[in-house]
Each structure stands twice: as structure tokens, then as C-alpha cells.
Amino acid sequence: MSKAIRPRAVIIGMMGAGKTRVGKEVAHIMHLPFADADVEIEREVGMKIPAYFERYGEPAFRKVEAELIADYLEDFDGIFSLGGGAPMTASTQDALASYIEDGGRVVYLDADPAEAMERANRGGGRPMLNGDANARWKMLFAQRDPVFRSVANVHVHTRGMTPQGAARKVIDMVSQRTVHVTGTSIDPYDVAIGQGAMNHLADVLGDKPVRVALIHTQPVQRHSDRARALLRQSGYEVSDIVIPDAESGKTSAVANGIWERLGEEGFTRSDAVVGLGGGAATDLAGFVAATWMRGVRYVNCPTSLLAMVDASTGGKTGINTPQGKNLVGSFYTPAGVLADTKTLASLPNDIFIEGLGEVAKSGFIGDPEILSLLEAHADELRAFNGADFLGTPLENVVCELIERTVSVKARHVSADLKEKGLREFLNYGHTLGHAIEKLEHFRWRHGNAVAVGMVYAAELACILGYIDRDLVDYHRTLLASLGLPTSWHDGSFDDVLALMHRDKKARGNELRFVVLDSIGHVVHLDNPPADAVREAFERIQH
């Protein structure tokens, strides 16, 4: 059976939101056909919609509308605009949900109410606005807005924008990849991946915050300048807070200094935090957001590959102590994550490559297709050069790797926000990895330490009969092909063992490891024999 031809985007919104005008503009720029459901219905029934309403009533109209929309969702390769009330029909909601599951983009065009009402009144011919048009519009908006928000997976604010500006924003957003993170104890949020993702900062923050603390490091000044400009254009008061780079920024002293700033500048519970930078910066920003007034809204703008695939998503926030990494922290989910691939253009090769350690980890524990992509593109990935990265086929590969890696993390986080079971599997390679980082005084980057930690976990699993030697060798070969380290020989076993006993997975005096028993299948290994733990360590020393 041939696969359905799906629209590139479906546009929904209130009457007067500009769905037809903006949709036509999007289609024109993208060189795609455009279809308006209302126009197609009039062609099918042979009369204008107001006349059809008057003769047959709204239920008959909604039935015709739902059937036509279902047909177009299965057989139209373009931009498709729906009538204002169409998403209120249950069968259309189901059809749109199926379309989204197949990778579709349902765009809620959220216009300024005053602008939309004025356009709706000017257009005329709207049977749903008979009587006091503005009062009817407001009543319908109150009914429809929550439904539109739940039906759509792309939300575009168009207040004060020209149709051309709104169209460019729609194209920007539908061209990006989105991973929706949800769960029983999680406020749902989206991870947007692609060029221009940071442009949606105000959309994610919303209109409640007055003040925004922009927490970033000095090396990402170019990107923080852009974020600050976007925030100020949207009317927020911005407090610019620069923190030390990398792990030296994740301390109680740095956090305390930020709390003092927030207090002095009058930050309230309705204000917000934006964390911009690598994984350490987003960890700290999230921790500050979680603890200030017991929790304020925050958005992560990761600027490194590692932060995009790991630290920015999942709601783990924290700081380091002299005794270990991330021992103080909170589970607190962001309002959104904006992984703008433009920021990768300024990334040095070695910092990009360390991020591949976390990408490979997600492949080993949950998505073998990640490993296939890494194998197929290992040479290009290892030779990454930010200066000529954007707009190349490699950018699409990296976007897919980010999307797949975040999806693996989202599946684990959704089922186990507070790391009591399934989420611990995300720590594959981390038991030794964290020990290496500590013993190297954080001179080793996280992704590199995790790469060695995965080889260690594979060796341990092999010694104990969980996997065969071929899978251990595959770990070593794949990671080395990406430019990641696979051995470490600068510390004593006793020092490593003491730190592994402090690992968050440890239970009492018993060590606990995460190991594979096959690719994509992870198990807990509790209290393994001491001689096996030592032998695996000896094997990663050469």
C-alpha cells in the first residue's frame, strides 16, 4: 500500500487570524501548492458557506468539512489552511493527531485578538459571527483557544507582524524538528531543534514575566547578545548574568551570587530565567530557577552539542560540591528547550566531538539507528568544522542525531522524572565517567569521560557474561572512529573505587552499574564481584 501524501503544514486559528493570507505566503516562499478548506468546501457543495449554513445548518456543514479535511490530510502535498471552527470536530482532532504522529506540523496561528476581530469583521460572510460580532468572537475564542493549543504542535504568535513576517516565522518553525516531552509528573514542554530555534524565546517565555535573568558564560557572548536583543525586543527587562565557564560555574558560591542579584533586582515568582551555554551553564540556570521562590519559569538555550542532547533536557538541575559532581540539585523541568544549530557554528572541533559521546550512549541504550548514523558519517563528524557547517548535508545528519538522542532521553524521563528506575539507564558509562572527571579535576570533558566509561561498562558486562567480546570491540571501534577516547590510565583503582561508591546509583555500600545485555537493552548490575570490577578497570588502561 502506498504511503499517504501529507501536507507540509496545516494552519489553524481563529477567524481573522490570517490563516489564508499567511498560508498563501508560506506556500509561495516554499514553492508549494496552497489549499484553503473553506474554498474547497464551497467548490464541493456548489455554494457559498453562509448559504450552506442557512439551508442545511452547522452540523451538516461540519460533516462535509471533516470529510474534506480527512481527504486532504491523506492526499495533499502543500500548505493547508482550515476554517476557524474545524479543529473543534472530534473526528478532525483525531485526523490531525494521526497527521502529527506521522511527522506533520499543525500550526496554531495565534493573532492579536483586536487585529483578528477587526479583520474578521472586515471580511464579512462569517455565519458564526452573526449578531454582535465582537462578543461572538470573544466567546468562540474562549471555547476554541484551549482546543487549538492542545491540537497544534507548533504555536506561532503573530501579534503586530506583517503576513510576510508571520510566514517567515511559520516556515522557520515547521522546518525545525520538535521533540515533545511529557509524562505523568511533568509539565509538557518541547525541544525545538534547528536553525533559528532561539527566535522563539518570547513564545516559550510567554507574557507573564516582566524580568528575565539571562545566565550565560563569556565564550558564548555572541549568542547571548542575540538572546538579549530578542528578549528586549519582546519587552522584557533583562538582567545579564555572566558565570564562569564549564564546571567552575556550577558551584554554590556562583549560585549564591545569582540569588543575591535576583533579590536586589526584585525578581518575583512570575519572572523567569534563561540559561544559555553549555551543559554546566544550563544545569546551573535550571538549579537557580528551581530554587528561587521555590520555582520560576525557565528556558534552556543550549549552545553545545553536549548540552543539546544531554544537560538541557530532562529536568535534572544541579551544582557540584568538593565531594563530587551534581550531588546537590533538583528535578525541575524547563518551559522549553531551544537547540539552535546556528550556535554550533562557533563550536571548536574537540567540544563538538565530546558531545558525540552522549549521542553514542543513547544509541547503545535505546536507538540502534543512532549507531548506524554515527558509523555512516564518522569521518565527516570527526572532521567537524563549524565555519562551514551550516547549510550542509552534515547539518541535517546532526539535527537527526540530536532529535533521536533527545527522544531516547525523553522516553526515559517521561517514565521516571526523579531517577528511581528507568531513568538510571541514561547513566550508561557515567559511573566511571564521573570518577574520571573528578580525578582529572574536570580537565576531561564530560562526553570524553563517558566514552571511556561505556568501554569500562562493556568490559565489565563481558567479564560477567552479559555480552560477548564482539560488542565490546564495537564500542571501542565506533567511539574511536568518532575521535573519542576509549582508555584512561591516569588514576589508581582505589581512588576510582572510592568515587564509584559515592555515585548516585550506589545503594548503601553496594556498587550499582548500568550495563548492556544487548544493543538497545539495558540492565542494572548490583554489587558485582570485586575482582571483575578491578579487571574491567585494568582493561581500559590500555
DSSP 260-290: HHHHHTT--TT-EEEEEESHHHHHHHHHHHH
Share of the chain above pLDDT 90, in %: 56
Q: In the chain, where are the structural domains located?
A: 9-174, 179-347, 416-539
Note the pLDDT of residue 417.
Answer: 47
* Amino acid 450: pLDDT: 96
The percentage of the chain sitting over the pLDDT mark of 70, rounded to a whole number, equals: 92
Between 355 and 168, name the one with better pLDDT. 355
Give the other-Cβ count within 10 Å of 230's Cβ: 18
The CATH code of the domain at 9-174 is 3.40.50.300
One-letter amino acid identity for 322?
P
Q: Is 540 left (phi over 0), alpha (psi -120 to 50) or beta?
A: alpha
**Judging by DSSP bridges, how do beta strands 512-518 and 211-217 pair with one another?**
unpaired
CATH topology of 179-347 equal to that of 416-539? no
Q: Does the pLDDT of residue 107 top 70, yes or no?
A: yes
End-to-end CA distance of the chain: 53
The tens digit of pLDDT for each residue in 35-87 reads 999 999 999 999 998 899 889 998 999 999 999 999 999 999 999 999 988 99
Which residues are annotated as part of the binding site for NAD(+)?
245-250, 279-283, 303-304, 316, 325
Give 416-539's CATH code, choosing from 3.40.470.10, 1.10.10.10, 3.40.605.10, 1.20.1090.10: 1.20.1090.10
Which whole-number Å values give the CA distances from 28 to 23, 168, 376, 464, in the listed order?
A: 9, 11, 36, 61
CB atoms within 10 A of CB 524: 12
Q: How confident is the model at residue 323 (pLDDT cuts 50, 70, 90)?
A: confident
Least confident interval from 234-238, 244-248, 487-491: 244-248
Evaluate whether 180 touches 413 at the Cβ level (below 8 Å): no
Q: What would the mean pLDDT of 503-514 be, rounded to a whole number?
A: 71
Distances (CA, A) of 260 to 136, 244, 254, 288, 292: 49, 17, 10, 11, 10
For 87-105, write each residue's pLDDT tens digit: 999 999 999 999 988 878 8
Best CA proximity match to 290, nearest among 272, 309, 263, 265: 272
- The number of beta carbons lying within 10 Å of the beta carbon of residue 40 is 18
Please report the DSSP string for 401-455 in residue order: HHHHHHHHHHHHHHH-TT-SSGGGGGGTTHHHHHHHHHHTTT-S-HHHHHHHHHH
Q: Are 246 and 442 in contact (CB under 8 A)?
A: yes
Q: What is the DSSP code string of 42-107?
A: HHHHTS-HHHHHHHH-HHHHHHHHHHHHHHHHHB--SEEE--TTGGGSHHHHHHHHHHHHTT--EE
Can you say which residues are annotated as belonging to the binding site for Mg(2+)?
A: 20
The β-bridge relationship of strands 336-339 and 186-193 is: parallel
Known binding-site residue numbers? 16-21, 38, 62, 84, 126, 144, 245-250, 279-283, 303-304, 316, 325, 358, 430, 446
CB atoms within 10 A of CB 81: 30
Q: Which residues sit in the known binding site for substrate?
A: 38, 62, 84, 144
Distance separating alpha carbons of residues 66 and 528, to the nearest angstrom: 60
pLDDT in tens, 5-34: 899 999 999 888 889 999 999 999 999 999
Contact predicate 512/421, CB 8 Å: no
Q: What are phi and psi of 109, to 5 degrees?
A: -85, 100
The residue-averaged pLDDT of 499-516 equals 77
Per-residue pLDDT reduced to its tens digit, 327-370: 777 888 899 999 999 999 999 999 999 999 999 999 999 999 99
The C-alpha atoms of residue 83 and residue 62 are separated, in whole angstroms, by 10
Tell the burial category of 323 from Cβ atoms under 10 Å away from its Cβ (0-12, 13-18, 19+): exposed
Q: What is the DSSP string of 105-155?
A: -EEEEE--HHHHHHHHHHH---GGG-SSHHHHHHHHHHHHHHHHHHH-SEE
Return phi, psi of residue 193, to 5°. -125, 125
The DSSP call for residue 309 is I
Average pLDDT over residues 447-472: 96
User: How high is the pLDDT of residue 2?
Assistant: 47
> 167-176, 203-212, 253-262, 532-541 — which is least confidently predicted?
167-176
**pLDDT greater than 90 at residue 300:** yes
Quick one: angle between helices 252-264 and 279-291, nearest 10? 50
Tell me the pLDDT band of 376, cut-offs 50, 70 and 90.
Answer: very high
pLDDT higher than 90, residue 310? no
- Averaged pLDDT of the chain: 88
List binding-site positions for ATP.
16-21, 126
Please list, in sequence order, all residues whose beta carbon lies within 8 angstroms of the beta carbon of residue 17, skipping any fewer than 6 positions away: 84, 109, 110, 111, 116, 119, 158
Does residue 422 carry a pLDDT above 80?
Answer: no
**pLDDT level of residue 1 (50, 70, 90 thresholds):** very low
In whole angstroms, what is the distance from residue 133 CA to residue 511 CA? 69
Average pLDDT over residues 264-285: 91
179-347, what's its fold?
A: Rossmann fold (3.40.50)
- Detail the residues annotated as belonging to a binding site for Zn(2+): 358, 430, 446
The predicted pLDDT at position 140 comes to: 87
Q: What is the DSSP letter of 316?
A: E
CA distances from 68 to 65, 87, 103, 398 (A): 5, 13, 20, 38
